[in-house]
Structures are given as C-alpha cells and as structure tokens.
Structure 1
Amino acid sequence: MSKQYTSSEPSEEQHKTRERIIAAASKVLAEKGYDATTLREISREAQAGPGLVHYYFGGKDALLVEVLQAAGQQFHQRMEHLIQQVPADQSLETFLTQLSERVGQEAEVYRLRYESFSLGLHNPVIAPAVRERLAQRREEIGSVMAKVMENTERTEGIKGPSVDPKILAALLLSLFDGLALQKILDPTFDLDASYQLLERMLRCLFSGHE
C-alpha cells in the first residue's frame, strides 16, 4: 500500500500530487497493460519526477492497487448517490444496469483487476493489498444491497427472508467479475441476458419465494 509521508510538503499539495499520479497511472496502465507499463512512463504522464512516484507509492504493484481502489470508490459513490435518487422500486434494476454497462464503459478497470488477482496469487508483497481491496468491494456491494433490500421490503410490503448482505455481496462480487471476464474475452457473450436472470433471481430471494 502507499507509504506514510513525512515530507514538509503541505498535505493539500501532497493530496493533489498523489491524485495526479494515480490518474496518470490509470491512463497509462489502461492503454498499455500492467507488464508493458513503466514507472517512468507514469511519471512522465503525471508530470512528476520518477522519485516522487517511488516516494508516494513505492512501486508499480502498490500503484496498481491504488488505481483500482480509486476507480472502485468513485463507482461506489456514484451508485450510492444514484440509489438515493431513483424510485425505491427501481433501485435493484438501476444498480444491476449500471454494473452491466460498466463492463463496456470501463473494461480497462476490469482488465487491471484481473491482473491484480494474478499478482496477488504469486506476489506476497501485493497479496495483502489485493485481499484488502476485495474486502472493500464486498463491503461496498453489501452496503448498496442492504439499501436495495430495504427499498424492496418497503415498496412491496413483504418482509423477505433474513439475508446477510455481506454473504450476498461475496456471491455477487464473484458473479460480477466472472460475467465481466466472459464479456471482455468473448464479445458475443450475452451479458444483458445474464443480468436480467440475475435480477429475477434476486427479486425472488428478496420476496421470500423459493
């Protein structure tokens, strides 16, 4: 993960520098992939010295995790805001639609996620960061699904079965990543049909139907 900073550089300036490096890394990594990307290219894109990239992040592995975390948090914030804005009975459909559309709109994010999984399996340095990011994704999905379940119960007037949002989030995370992988590797894969079936399955679960 990123380092703790002891520089005399003002904290606001530190934040801006880190955000600029993360944005540059996201662009370069998306264009060239993890293996072909160098820290020098990232520093050039960020208009920051290579030493600053090392100072703030330590290396490419940690920077990859930071890029994924930033993208995930931005998407989660959009989802939470959207769920609050749409009618309660449309919250599940809206959430799943956004996830499905994200595969096409941000395919590079998914590609980088898969690269991080591979690194996490073989690199003991990056493994804890990947594990932490997975836990954060489960928490993010769980918080949204808890709201969706609350909306479903309120609008339909039916108290469904007790479902642990954290367990549900773990299952959904596997589905989301697996479906995205199939679509990215096989453009003919019917992602929409898969998400439509998933929506029906979740509605049955929330309503208490077997």
Structure 2
Amino acid sequence: MTPPSKSQAKAEAKRAFLIEQATICLAEKGYAHVSLRDIAKESGVSLGILHYYFASKEELLLEVIASYKERFIAELEREVVAAPLDNFFPALAAVLGRSLLEDRKLHRLWYDLQAQALYTPVFLEQVHHTRNRLHDLIARMLKRLQTERGAALAVDVSAASSILYSLIDGMILQCLLDESRTAAEAISRFQLALHHVLESLFSSGSPATHPVERGD
C-alpha cells in the first residue's frame, strides 16, 4: 500500500481537526443551533476552507457521529464482547459509565441525529448503520451466553437483540433527561434492569450470568 503523500497527510490532518472542532460545537449547542460559520469561527478557518472539506452541515454532522460511534463501538468490542463472560456485567457497566461521564454531550448529539433522521432522509442511512452494528454486538454476546453457558433463549436472537438494544438505548436517554441522576446511579439501575430482562429472555429463567453487587 502506497503511503499518503505529504499533501494528502496534511489534508487528512486538517479534516480530522475540523471534525474535532465541529464535535465540540455540535455537542455543546446541538445541531439546530450551530451553523457552518460558527464551526469555521471556532476552528480558526474561513467558511470557504470549511466548505472545501465539507459540502454541508449535514455532511459534517454525519462525520462527527461516525467518528464518535466508531470509537464507542470499538470500546464495546474490546472491553465487553471479547471479555470473559464472568466479567460481562462489570465490563459493560464500566464502558457505559465512562461514556456517560466523558461523552454525555456526544450521546445527546446521537439522539439529536436520530430525531433529525425522522424528517431528514440524508441522516437515515447513518442511523440505520450504527444501530445495526450495535444490534450485531448484542447478538454476538447473546450467542456466547447460549454456547458457553448452555443457556437457551425463549425468543430468537434477533428479537432478543432488539429488546436489549431498546433497554440500553432507553436507559441512556433517561439518564440524559434526568440531570439529577448521576452516571453511577444510572448504571446501577441499568444493571438491575438488564439482569431481570435477561432472566425473562432465557427459557431456563436464568441468563447464566450475574450482575455486579449493588450497594444500598
């Protein structure tokens, strides 16, 4: 593979910088309240330069979301899906807890994008792509539980994945809407809910795994 030329490397670095600056602006104020001019100003470049790299604000938002979700999915892959099943609950809690603490505003932007996708078709493909990847991660985890622990699902993997995705997605949204609840409190509630849902999804009445101990 031919390495990029100096000019290509410089252009890629500039593009990455602009995505980083756009991420800060969009996560802070939301899609509807930020213009390309605002992002150009925060980035210290002209509007023309920003347009050179991104044709529209829609294209820039898609790049921001893709970059953030790629990192989030990589963390889930590395720390949860590939981790020993005995560490499933604490590993998942650690990733979600860290994400809610460090990337709270980016999670808000993800829900912003999903809402925009209801009215702006250009966003639908990215939303479907990201959701499908997350569904796939959950399905792989469920299959591991079935295979390695000998647990049988009461419904098919696709339906179970949809149920668990809805639970996780809904719990994160609730945490974002409830400013009085800390990330630790949200994760504790999530773990308890996930444990009960897994019990109901496995025909044996047990997902053959256990949540982290909860303090009162």
- TM-score under structure 1 length normalisation: 0.76
Q: 1:51 to 1:92 in 2, by over 3 A?
A: same
Q: Which residue of 2 aligns with 1:109?
A: 106
Aligned AA for 1:173? Y
Structure 2 residue aligned with 1:4: none
Pick from 98, 104, 127 the counterpart of residue 95 of structure 2. 98
The alignment status of 1:29 with 2:23, answered yes or no, reads: no
Question: In the aligned structure 2, how far is the partner of 1:169 from the partner of 1:137?
Answer: 14
105-114 or 173-182: bigger deviation: 173-182
C-alpha offsets along residues 120-179 of structure 1, whole Å, 9 cap, x if unaligned?
A: 2233xxx232x22222223322332233224323542x1423865554444333333322
Q: Identity across aligned pairs (percent)?
A: 26
Query: Out of 127, 132, 135, which is 1:139 matched to?
Result: 132
TM-score (norm 2): 0.74
Q: Secondary structure at the match of 1:110?
A: helix
Aligned equivalents of 2:138, 2:157: Cα separation in 1:
6
Q: Assess if the C-alpha contact under 8 Å between 1:68 and 1:113 holds in 2.
A: yes
Matched, 1:197 2:190: no
**1: distance between equivalents of 2:122 and 2:164?**
22
SS at the partner of 1:122? coil
Matching residue of 2:152: 160
Kept in 2: contact 1:142–1:168 (CA 8 A): no
Change (3 A) 1:11 1:104: same
TM-superposed deviation, 1:67: 1.0
Contact 1:139 1:169 in 2 (8 A): no
Contact kept, 8 Å, 1:110 with 1:177, in 2: the verdict is: no
Amino acid at match of 1:19: A
Q: 2-side partners of 1:201 and 1:69: how far apart? A: 29
Q: What's the CA shift string for 1:89-124, capped at 9, x where partnerless? A: 22254225422542333221122122223322233x
Structure 2 segments unaligned to the other structure (5+ residues): 207-216
Given residue 122 of structure 2, which amino acid in structure 1 is its aligned partner?
Answer: P
Q: For residue 139 of structure 2, what is the amino acid of its counterpart?
A: A
C-alpha distance in 2, partners of 1:69/1:107?
16
User: Quick check: 1:181 aligned with 2:173?
Assistant: yes
Aligned length: 198
Q: Which residue of 2 aligns with 1:60?
A: 57
Question: What displacement does 1:85 show?
Answer: 5.6
The whole-number CA distance in structure 1 between the counterparts of 2:202 and 2:8 is 46
Deviation at 1:33, TM superposition (A): 2.5
User: Counterpart of 2:31 in 1: which secondary structure?
Assistant: coil
Contact 1:145–1:169 at 8 Å: present in 2 too?
A: yes
Q: 2:163 aligns with which of 156, 171, 174?
A: 171
Compared with structure 1, are the counterparts of its residues 163 and 34 closer, same or farther at alpha carbon in structure 2 (3 Å cutoff)? same
CA distance 1:170–1:69, change in 2 (3 Å): farther
